[in-house]
Chains A and B, each alone.
Chain A
Amino acid sequence: MTTSTHLVYLIALPLVSAALLLILGRLADKWGHLLATLVSASTFAFAASEFFAMRSRSGAARATTQKLFDWISVGTFKVDAALLLDQLSICFVLLITGVGTLIHIYSIAYMSHDRDRRRFFAYLNLFIAAMLLLVLGNSYLNLYVGWEGVGLASYLLIGFWNQKPAYATAAKKAFVANRVGDVGLSLAIMIAFAQFGTVSFAGVAAGAPHASSAALAAMGAMLLLAAAGKSAQFPLQSWLGDAMAGPTPVSALIHAATMVTAGVYLITRSNFIFDASSTARLLVVIVGTITLLFGAIIGTAKDDIKKALAASTMSQIGYMILATGLGPIGYAFAIMHLLTHGFFKAGMFLGAGSVMHGMNDEVNMRRFGGLNRFLPITAITFGFGYLAIIGVPPFAGFYSKDKIIETAFNAGGTKGYILGICALLGAGLTAFYMTRLIVMTFWGTPRWSRDEQHPHESPALMWVPMAILAVGSVASGFLFTSGNSMVHWLAPVVNPSGAEGGAELMKPIVVSLLALGVVVIGVAYAIFKYRTVPVEAPEKVTVFTRIARRDLMQDAFNEAVLMRPGQKLTTGLVWADYSFVDGLVRAVGFTLGTSSQAVRKIQNGYARTYALVMLVGVLALVATIWMVTL
């Protein structure tokens, strides 16, 4: 362990900048976006220097810590505010600051016509700070602060145009779904403290081998719930589609590249829990597999370009979650796919933003078509991302996704076959819906009116970031896999025991060929099916398409099972509170009131009656005393 005194600036800089922009208000309108971008860029530069410094050290000295102060200390519950930068977190820090900076630059142009551009950049910086805290915290509780911080930033950014009620609702939905996940994280932290007496990663890792399997399974399940909330995994995935209400750069940064992958980080970081509990691992692979298919199926039915990409994000994170459930060897592949996905998906989202920018904020792909002639750069960069996600060699997705499919097959037995086939199926579906997206948007004949739409290429401020991400989509996969560099780099953190994967079921080349095969089928079918695209979505479709268009009924389910009964319960309780609980109180008051109405008749106002009553009373008293003493 190396100690550092300046890690905190990674978080403090964007945080201060965000606070400054928010507090100064309109005063900062002129230069707010420049400051925010500068701050973001400087965090990237700082992160890069940390990365090279880390490479120059070796072994255990690579991890760097900084203790800031005692945060909470009550009895044995002691939590420091402390940061940890190790091989795992540096990957995230580079991704967050790097992609974050590109998106800052992109947004300068994209948001230039918005009167609240400064506020937008303040939120972006707030997000960067919170996300960095999430990956840099050295204990679960520090992570939790960043965890909810990114939730807040996401809420603010999704609801950036909250004057539209639907957008405000989408923001709220995202926050509440995330909070359900947060219950999981809270409970996981409580279990950690009750079991191990500490909530720091190191402490829990040291104690994990001594804990009962039930406790480990419970903690693993709770961590998975947290990951499901943040990473839009089944059954908490329904918020991600609606979250596309936010400005497109937000979708690229938060809802594609970084925040939604926090769940993968959480599980990878907690590898000591999942390695020790096969039950927890099983739950993880189930959730991952369901989501990777779920998202892919939804992706095939969406006409909104951003929602199609969102469904794809869900599905790709499903792959990562699946990988994390496959034992010590899977974590590195999950992180690898996470990083490559960060490049190509962010690039594609920015491309979608560029298309919307040129098409008057139109998002319906049925009204696109033939745009490659009007937005050539966008089309090319988007194409690179496309080739990467469907897994065409030598683009990045080929390396990272193949590794996951391979590891899934190697999980052993029936489980291995099921997981492997599901992962292959997902790859085919991915190829299908992504080709559909490309065909509908960039190919074919224009389906937009030449009078209203004047598609044009975006300015350099927007296409340069896209181009850089496109380069990443090409090169990153090869970079990470050559000489197994990623696996070796992460091994001290995620695979300290040096465990190997399961026995090879098939030669890797066979798996790759199989994957390529399903991809070719998916692509071919999509091209065939979308030779012509009707401008209006066809009404006469199978029931499966209809269900897929409605997000596989997840919203309907939530509404019927949670929301409506919840509303009924609330109304019922409001009524019961008035009628019963308060009613009881009012009944006491009413009884006293009426009985006193009856009794007060005795007070007739005549002084002589009072005198008589008094006299009688005195006589009665005297008589009583007399009788008692006699």
Chain B
Amino acid sequence: MSILTVLELLPLLGTLVIAFLPKSANRTIKQVAFVISLVVAAVSGVMAYRFRSGTPGFQFVESRPWIAAFHINYAVGADGIALVLILLTTILVPIVILAGWNEAEGGRWSVKTYYMLMLVLETMMIGVFAATDVFLFYVIFEAMLVPVYFLIGGYGRGERAAAALKFLLYSLFGGLLMLAALIGTYIISTNQGGGTFDITKLSMLQIDKPTQNFLFLGFFIAFAIKAPLWPFHTWLPGAAKSATGGTSVLLLGVLDKVGTYGMIRFCMTLFPDATKTFTPVIIVLAIISILYGAFLAIGQKDINSLIAFTSISHFGFITLGIFAMTSQGLSGATFYMVNHGFSTAALFLTAAWMVKRRGSSQIDDFGGLQRVTPVLAWSFFIAGLSALALPGLSSFVSEFLVLVGTFTRYPVAAIFGTLGIVLAALYVLLAVQRSLHGETKPGNENMKDLNLREKVTIAPVIAVLIFLGFYPKPVLNVINPTSTAVMQHAGASDPAVKAGK
């Protein structure tokens, strides 16, 4: 049995344990969930240790027949890109559980249900990145919507039901397009000697251009909705505004990465010709996302929707890097996914603590927090600096790689993208000024600073941001061979140096 399968089963086991606990044993339930998520993190650490970086291709593979009639297998495996995203997941889940220790109490359902949903979601998040069978990927891709739907609709704030429904319908729509394209791909594989859903075998198919275009669009729109790319983004701010801090972290930090991950894993690998055809359009969409998301972030009054719009801007960067078709762009985009996960986590968690203490998520209700709650204010500030990609923090490395990778092929796009860094400074510093600086506003005088649990939660996130900012090598070493392989498969190579010696 592959270690990936173990990783997938562990949270399920936790769910089972929690299922047998009494509903009232909130404390025990939380402890069990936290311990299980820690064990998962530890096992994923072992996996990372055993991972042979420097080699492309899948490792820890396992394949068992699932629906033999359609050649569908339970097939898992991890290459560099999948590995770092799985690690992101397994590290974020315990942090989220610890950060939102009392988050589930106000929900529509019990605390028990909350943690069961959380752990089931973890299984699926690991599974979706580990799946090497396209059908398996699709099933988990869609099934993930269910726990998230309940987490937003049952435990959120404000118009949580409406937000959850919008999220569900939007994602389902994308999923259906993907299903159609998936079936189309399967039929083509049947016609070319032996139907299969195996990603490696599917990538060898010879598909004519018009068909590729249609199939590509089916996959791409699903991923663009998930990512989210302009103009498919409107479900995100609502969901982020309504969800609990922890759910938002998982939603934006991990789940949305499935979109950009899918673009690399499926769009580029399965349909290289169509990728070339659509690249100009997608680059334009990415640029629009970067600038549009940043401008809207400046105009937000709610702190959570502000963070959501910054993410739209950042997903624009990721998409830009992916479709720039250079090794810097692709590796940078993948690294960006990891960094964005941690930086959004820091933002959402600190914002959630601020909102919980103040009882309001309007930015203008805060003010002067620097004096009252210095540690909280510093945490939020550092998270903000990471969002504006300050050198020395990991997001800078990835953002710069994306931009430099884009510049070598599409200089104009990179110039527009670079303008995003000014806007990023504006939206972060405006929010910082309105919430942390100035006179302490009435109602904030007695706010409590972070307690020990909260400090323990935020410290590792900030530590990761700083460490990877100065020493990104361990992650880049894992990503690089895979992105090179993806590029080779897509038939692209880095542009040559212009002023050669």
Question: Could you tell me which A residues sit within 8 Å of B by CB distance?
Answer: 22, 25, 69-77, 81, 141, 144-145, 147-149, 152, 155, 159, 162-165, 168-169, 172, 175-176, 179-180, 182-183, 186-187, 189-191, 193-197, 206-207, 210-212, 215, 569-571, 573-574, 577, 581-582, 585, 589
The answer to whether B437 touches A69, judged by C-beta atoms less than 8 angstroms apart, is no
Nearest-CB residue, chain B, relative to A203: B501
Contact A183 B473 (CB under 8 A): no
CB within 8 A of A72: which of B296, B433, B472?
A: B472
B315-348 near A? 1/0 per residue, CB < 8 Å: 0000000000011100110000000000000000
Nearest B residue to A130, CB-CB: B392
A149 with B498, Cβ < 8 A, contacts A69-B471, A71-B472, A574-B296 known: no
CB neighbours of B38 from chain A (8 A): none
Q: Pick the interface stretch among B98-106, B255-263, B419-427.
A: B419-427
CB–CB A581/B392 < 8 A = no
A72-B476 in contact (CB<8A): yes
Contact, CB under 8 Å: B385 / A190 = no
B234–A77 CB distance below 8 A: no
Q: Which residue of A lies closest to B500 (CB)?
A: A210
Q: How far is the CB of A159 from chain B (nearest CB, A)?
A: 7
Chain A residue contacts of B418, Cβ below 8 A: 183, 186-187, 190
Closest residue of chain B to A193, judged by CB?
B404
Which 6 pairs of residues, A with B, have the shortest CB-CB distance?
A75-B327, A197-B497, A168-B437, A582-B234, A190-B407, A211-B499
Give B contacts to A, CB under 8 Å. 166, 169-170, 230-231, 233-235, 292, 295-296, 298-300, 326-328, 331-332, 368, 370-371, 374, 378, 385, 390-392, 396-397, 400-401, 403-405, 407-408, 411, 414-415, 418-419, 421-422, 425-426, 429-430, 433, 436-440, 470-473, 476, 480, 484, 494-495, 497-501
List of B residues within 8 angstroms of A149 by Cβ: 391-392
Min distance, Cβ A9 to any Cβ of chain B, angstroms: 16
Q: How far is the CA of A254 from the CA of B335 in the complex (A)?
A: 34
Min C-beta distance of A247 to chain B, whole Å: 16
Distance A586 CA – B472 CA, assembled complex (angstroms): 43
Q: Are B426 and A176 in contact (CB under 8 A)?
A: yes
Contact across chains for B408 and A74 when beta carbons are under 8 A apart: no
Q: Are A163 and B234 touching (Cβ within 8 A)? A: no
In the complex, the answer to whether A172 meets B404 with C-beta atoms within 8 Å is no
Complex interface: chain A residues within 8 A of B298 (CB):
570
Contacts of A581 in B (CB 8 A): 230-231, 233-234
Evaluate contact between A77 and B404: CB separation under 8 angstroms: yes
Q: Are B400 and A141 in contact (CB under 8 A)?
A: yes
Give, as a whole number of angstroms, the nearest-CB distance from A79 to chain B: 10
On whether the beta carbons of A570 and B296 are closer than 8 Å, the reply is yes
Taking CB atoms, residues of chain A closer than 8 Å to B233 are: 581
Compute how far the CA of A190 lies from the CA of B480 in the bound complex, rounded to whole angstroms.
20
The residue in A147, A152, A195, A585 that gathers the most chain B C-beta atoms within 10 A of its C-beta is A585
A75 to B415, CA, bound (A): 22
Bound state CA distance, A175 and B422, in angstroms? Answer: 9
Q: Which residues of B contact A169 (CB under 8 A)?
A: 433
Minimum Cβ distance to chain B for residue A189 (Å): 7
Q: Nearest chain A CB to B372's CB is how many angstroms away?
A: 11
CB distance from B367 to the nearest CB of A (A): 9
Determine whether the beta carbon of B476 is less than 8 Å from that of A75: no
Q: Are B429 and A194 in contact (CB under 8 A)?
A: no
A155 to B166, CA, bound (A): 41
A190 and B414 contact, Cβ closer than 8 Å, known pairs A182-B421, A581-B231: yes
Complex Cα distance, B326 from A310, in Å, reads 45
**Given the known A-B contacts A573-B295, A582-B234, are A163 and B371 also in contact in the complex, defined by CB atoms under 8 Å?**
yes
- In angstroms, Cα B405 to Cα A432, docked, is 51
Task: Chain B residues near A190: list those with CB within 8 A.
Answer: 403-404, 407-408, 411, 414, 418
A179 close to B430 (CB less than 8 A) = no
**Shortest distance from the beta carbon of A215 to any chain B beta carbon, whole Å:** 7
The CA of A71 and the CA of B235, in the complex, are separated in Å by: 38
Partner of A189, one of B378, B404, B426, B494: B404
B439 nearest CB neighbor, chain A only: A163
CB distance from A585 to the nearest CB of B (A): 5
Bound CA–CA A179/B300 (angstroms): 21
A77 touches B328 (CB 8 A): yes
Give the residues in chain B near A165, CB-CB below 8 Å. Answer: 437-439
With A176-B426, A585-B234 in contact, do A195 and B498 touch (Cβ < 8 Å)? yes
- Across the interface, name the chain A residue whose C-beta is closest to B335: A74
Contacts known (A215-B499, A569-B295); A163 close to B403, Cβ less than 8 A: no
| Residues of chain B with a CB closer than 8 A to A577's CB | 234, 292, 296
Q: By the criterion CB–CB under 8 Å, are A186 and B421 in contact?
A: yes
A163 to B433, CA, bound (A): 10
Residues of A within 8 Å of B421, CB to CB, are 179, 182-183, 186
- Nearest A residue to B438 via CB reads A165
14 contacts between A and B (CB under 8 A): A76-B327, A77-B401, A148-B391, A149-B392, A165-B439, A168-B437, A179-B425, A183-B421, A186-B421, A190-B411, A212-B498, A570-B295, A573-B299, A574-B296
Complex Cα gap A569–B405 (Å): 30
Complex Cα gap A189–B169 (Å): 44
Shortest CB distance B419–A (Å): 7
What CA separation (Å) do A579 and B149 show in the bound complex? 25
Question: Which residue of A has the minimal Cβ distance to B473?
Answer: A70
CB–CB B497/A74 < 8 A? no
Output the least CB separation between B401 and chain A (Å). Answer: 6
Instruction: Collect the chain B residues with CB atoms within 8 Å of residue A574's CB.
Output: 296, 299-300
Indicate if the CB atoms of B397 and A72 lie closer than 8 Å. yes
CB–CB B499/A176 < 8 A: no
CB distance from B391 to the nearest CB of A (A): 4
- Which of A71, A75, A144, A215 has the most chain B CB atoms inside 10 A of its CB? A75
Residues on the A chain within 8 Å of B425, using CB: 175-176, 179
B401: which of A72, A152, A183, A207 is its contact (CB, 8 Å)? A72
Complex interface: chain A residues within 8 A of B476 (CB): 72-74
Contact B497 A195 (CB under 8 A): yes
Q: List, in ascending order, chain A residues with CB within 8 A of B374's CB.
A: 25
CB <8 Å contact, B437 and A163: yes
CB-defined contacts of B292 to chain A, threshold 8 Å: 573, 577
Residues A186 and B371 in contact in the complex (CB < 8 Å), given A74-B327, A75-B328, A81-B470 = no
Question: Which residue on A lies nearest to B375, using beta carbons?
Answer: A25
| Across-interface contacts of A212 in B (CB, < 8 A) | 498-499
Residues in B with CB closer than 8 Å to A196 are 497, 499
* List of B residues within 8 angstroms of A22 by Cβ: 378
Q: Among A77, A573, A574, A582, which residue has the most Cβ atoms of chain B within 10 A? A: A77
CA distance A74 to B473 in the complex (A): 9
